[in-house]
Structure 1
Amino acid sequence: MKISSLFDAGNIEVVSLDRYDDIQLKIRKDNGSDFAQWFYFRLQGAPYQPCTLKILNAHECAYPEGWHDYQAVASYDRVSWFRVQTRYEDGALVIDHTPLAGSVYYAYFEPYSYEQHLNLVGQAQGSGLCQVSDLGNTLDGRDLELLTIGHEVESDLKIWVIARQHPGETMAEWFIEGFLSRLLDPQDATARALLDRATFYVVPNMNPDGSVRGHLRTNAAGTNLNREWQTPSLEKSPEVYHVEQKMRETGVDLFLDIHGDETLPYVFLAGNEGIPSFDARLAELQQRFRQHFLLASPDYQTEHGYEIDQFGDANMTLATSWVGETFGCLAFTLEMPFKDNANLPDDDYGWNGQRSLRLGEAMLTPIYGVLSNLR
């Protein structure tokens, strides 16, 4: 048997590989931080063997409660991913699976590779409706790309969508793929109507370094980007610094920050009730957006989510809080599950890349629903 993870987004450490029924592993922490939860590795040499893979340090991960009712994903070709039997017991995450081939991959969630990211950017540019620009370098020297879609005239509404501040939340970039696919479709009436009145600024991956390194939550320096928005720096968080600079240049009328939640098995939005400038106008906009989103996608719901901040209690280091307060605009954090969506469960696939993609397509509808009220 052999286990490897020296590939894009790979993350695992082998403790013991002596027996098929007692493969012992550990998740490697994000560089420079204590965050750990993302795993992605390849098992070879165990076809048709009933394997038991134990991640021994699951109880030490960032969100141990996220392991309850969680099922890992597996794939033979890294294209089709399915859920496999998984349990959390005695502080370890235990995967029970009999591979049907000599090579199989396991991951925390369906990966979205850097190669896929580059293809996504290239395909968007190839549509003829999208301009690709470089905002600056990451700490590892990778490009931080901005996709600009629209006429960029002063009268346009300015809509910003960013994803994957936390690199292990790969569902966020799957969401962006669906969002762009529909927005760039010249035959889609909603997309055409939006682009008649708005310019979209999309950052498909805020954290390419962490994505490639196999991090859960931080960039190359071990910085959680979604705690940097009040005081970003080129030394610790150039990704946020460069995006903020561009936002100040363009302005923002609507902001969406796309994430995944380790614990809650639901799709939900977190709003801005806690920012100092929250008022009746923003409250009405939030409610209108949510109502349109409920109609656009049955995967979205409003019953479960984060506790709503009291007025004035917002954490201003978060992207949604900082952008909403700085620009006086409607701003949301969208969360998708690592588990299944409890409202519409799927035993074979759970929540996955395709469902995230479809949610991205659906997002155009609530944006269109509030467009006339953003200013």
Structure 2
Amino acid sequence: VPKLREPRQLYGFSATEFGPQQLARWPAEIQVLNESIRHIDYVPPHPEPFYKSTGQERMPMARSHENGGRVVFEYEPVFLRSRAGGSCTGCKTCVPPLTGPDDKTLLFESRFESGNLAKAVQISEFEYELWLRNDLYTNKHTQWFYFRFSNARANVNYRFTIVNLTKPDSLYNHGMKPLMYSERAANEKKIGWVRSGSDIKYYRNNIKYNTGKTDCWFYSLTWTASFKQDQDTVYFAHCYPYSYTDMQDYLNDIANDPVRSKICKQRVLCRSLAGNLVYVLTITSATKVPEEAKHRKAVVVTSRVHPGESNASWMLKGFLDYLMGNSADAKLLRDTFVFKIIPILNPDGVIVGNYRCSLSGRDLNRNYKTVLKESFPSIWHTKSMIKKLLEEREITVYCDLHGHSRKQNVFLYGCENRNNPNRRLRERVFPVMLSRNAPDKFSFESCKFKVQKGKEGTGRIVIWNYGILNSFTMEATFCGSSLGKKRGYHFNTADFESMGYHFCDTLLDYCDPDNTKVGQFLMSLIL
């Protein structure tokens, strides 16, 4: 049986340690704070505009790689096996204590769920260089960041510069601001995550790294921020965090709800390499007529195969909230379809703060053709579930939810049916209808339908090869919109959640038997 080279005993666990709502499991030697991180739900009362470049933004070169500055946080985890709650020993860690009340050093931390910060170096009194940790078992994939610091002082301009990013371009050069969360603002004013920062710039810096084939340059993201109160604890993140524990809490609320628990049935699809549970939800209405249920078509939705794309979880939350609601349309959807939903395909990556990979050190969304059940359990079991579902009923739509780091808006990647004249261009109908239902967020012009050779291992293409016409990847920007009334403004969690509603609304339009003329009209527009 073919296997990956990493030793499987790294992820050993006891089968007796599992329960219906288990603690997040970490590699046993990773340090984890003995506290639960919770952020309040918050939607800003006013749209948050993009950052407008002045052309005068600073571009500080990295200095800490030349032993410059003072290391104030450093964390190098070592991995042996998985363990609920992680560990507090066994890693190289540097967190110098404060010398007294006049010490203004920021105290950085990221040893919590989904956190990612490898090192913080103090360059001057209020300036810090930050190094992100690579995805575990890789030497790349630095984009997701989520960390905090305490001992912040009011009315001081702090500069933060992340120095080991690898992408040549970023939405931060097109108006995107980092997200900031103040614990004092949350506790005292009920204000949650907000877009923050000024003097924002993404640029190539002066550090090179070796890929094994050639030398490449690192890129920096720099910004300044100030805070309104002394002694605050502040978080920064690339996108709104949504952790494995957040998902567990959400599913637990459903299970304890006497109405929603009848609509949504939960079961464990499989266990990840670290032993975390991968859930599959089945949502449909109960019926007393078995023959009626037998003829229902299916819709399959998956999310968080890339752990750092947390906006995918917010879209899925909106989808689930609407689907389990009391509206007439929600009830009609449950009467019409059987929904199979996998909320988090890559729980290990979400827990440890990876951007793209699982604990196999591989991108799961390039391994849907795999036969390695032990190395890619969530992918293998997802394909098995879909194959079994196809034996029972037709699948109308398969959609895998993602986030996108270089484009604005929301859009779909589909698969063109070039070689089948009866299906030609039909994969474009659903996206066009979705663009009509969400004109301020969804861009049909950004949709692509080519089946590229380099993407043949993605869920979208592998599932399309099972004969599913509407097989999509749904991409939501990390930033915001360039369309309509939303143009020039960041998306917030409510905007991401609303895409779940629009997706459901489009399903009804697409499958309405009286809507044939609409479909023909849309096809004529495409042609």
Q: TM-score, normalised by structure 1?
A: 0.91
Query: CA offset at residue 277 of structure 1?
Result: 6.2
Q: In 1, distance between residues paired with 2:280 and 2:468?
A: 22
- Write out per-residue CA displacement over residues 163-190 of structure 1, whole angstroms, 9 at most, x where no aligned residue: 111010000010011001110012x122
Give the corresponding residue for 1:262.
405
Give the corresponding residue for 1:80.
192
Give the corresponding residue for 1:144.
278
What secondary structure sits across from 1:317 in the alignment?
A: coil
| 1:71 and 2:71 are equivalent in the alignment | no
Which of 159, 175, 178 lines up with 2:299 in the alignment?
Answer: 159
Pairwise CA RMSD of aligned residues? 2.3
Give the corresponding residue for 2:223.
95
What secondary structure sits across from 1:265 in the alignment?
A: coil
Which of 141, 152, 157 lines up with 1:35 in the alignment?
Answer: 141
Query: CA offset at residue 209 of structure 1?
Result: 0.7
**Structure 1 pair 63/138, CA: closer, same or farther in 2 (3 Å)?**
farther
Query: CA offset at residue 292 of structure 1?
Result: 2.2
Q: In 1, distance between residues paired with 2:413 and 2:459?
A: 12
What secondary structure sits across from 2:425 in the alignment?
A: helix
Which of 125, 128, 132 lines up with 1:23 in the alignment?
Answer: 128
Query: CA offset at residue 99 of structure 1?
Result: 2.1
Query: CA offset at residue 355 of structure 1?
Result: 1.1
Query: CA offset at residue 372 of structure 1?
Result: 5.0
Q: TM-score, normalised by structure 2?
A: 0.65
**Structure 1 pair 258/63, CA: closer, same or farther in 2 (3 Å)?**
farther
What secondary structure sits across from 1:110 in the alignment?
A: coil
Q: In 2, distance between residues paired with 1:37 and 1:304?
A: 22
Give the corresponding residue for 1:290.
431
| 1:122 and 2:260 are equivalent in the alignment | no
Give the corresponding residue for 2:339.
200
Q: In 1, distance between residues paired with 2:132 and 2:397?
A: 37
Q: In 1, distance between residues paired with 2:359 and 2:303?
A: 17
Give the corresponding residue for 1:169.
309
Give the corresponding residue for 1:9.
114
Q: In 1, distance between residues paired with 2:276 and 2:142?
A: 23
Which of 376, 380, 389 lines up with 1:237 in the alignment?
Answer: 376
| 1:57 and 2:164 are equivalent in the alignment | yes
Q: In 2, distance between residues paired with 1:361 and 1:151?
A: 18
CA contact (8 A) 1:73 1:110 kept: yes
Aligned length: 365
Give the corresponding residue for 1:133.
267
CA contact (8 A) 1:168 1:211 kept: yes
Q: In 2, distance between residues paired with 1:346 and 1:103?
A: 30
**Structure 1 pair 279/21, CA: closer, same or farther in 2 (3 Å)?**
farther
Query: CA offset at residue 266 of structure 1?
Result: 1.9
Give the corresponding residue for 1:217.
356
Identical aligned residues as a percent: 23
What secondary structure sits across from 1:95 in the alignment?
A: strand
Comparing 63-72 with 360-369, which one deviates more in the overlay? 63-72
CA contact (8 A) 2:455 2:461 kept: yes
Give the aligned residue type for 1:104. V
CA contact (8 A) 2:284 2:334 kept: yes
Which ranges of structure 2 fall in alignment gaps of 5 or more residues? 1-105, 206-218, 287-292, 514-527
Give the corresponding residue for 2:150.
44
Query: CA offset at residue 262 of structure 1?
Result: 0.5
- Write out per-residue CA displacement over residues 101-139 of structure 1, whole angstroms, 9 at most, x where no aligned residue: 411000111101222111222233431200001011001
Give the aligned residue type for 1:164. R
Q: In 2, distance between residues paired with 1:179 and 1:356?
A: 10
Which of 284, 298, 304 lines up with 2:446 in the alignment?
Answer: 304
**Structure 1 pair 281/370, CA: closer, same or farther in 2 (3 Å)?**
farther
Comparing 158-167 with 70-79, which one deviates more in the overlay? 70-79
Query: CA offset at residue 196 of structure 1?
Result: 1.2
**Structure 1 pair 277/120, CA: closer, same or farther in 2 (3 Å)?**
farther
Give the aligned residue type for 1:44. S
Q: In 1, distance between residues paired with 2:182 and 2:354?
A: 23
Q: In 1, distance between residues paired with 2:424 and 2:282?
A: 26
Larger RCO, structures 1/2 (Cα 8 Å, 6+ apart):
1
Q: In 2, distance between residues paired with 1:239 and 1:131?
A: 19
Give the aligned residue type for 1:129. I
Q: In 1, distance between residues paired with 2:169 and 2:375?
A: 27
Comparing 226-235 with 45-54, which one deviates more in the overlay? 226-235
Give the aligned residue type for 1:16. V
Which ranges of structure 1 fall in alignment gaps of 5 or more residues? none
- Write out per-residue CA displacement over residues 293-331 of structure 1, whole angstroms, 9 at most, x where no aligned residue: 12321211112244x426x85832110111111133311
What secondary structure sits across from 1:342 in the alignment?
A: coil
What secondary structure sits across from 2:491 in the alignment?
A: coil
Q: In 2, distance between residues paired with 1:138 and 1:335?
A: 24
Q: In 1, distance between residues paired with 2:454 and 2:202?
A: 34
CA contact (8 A) 1:159 1:254 kept: yes
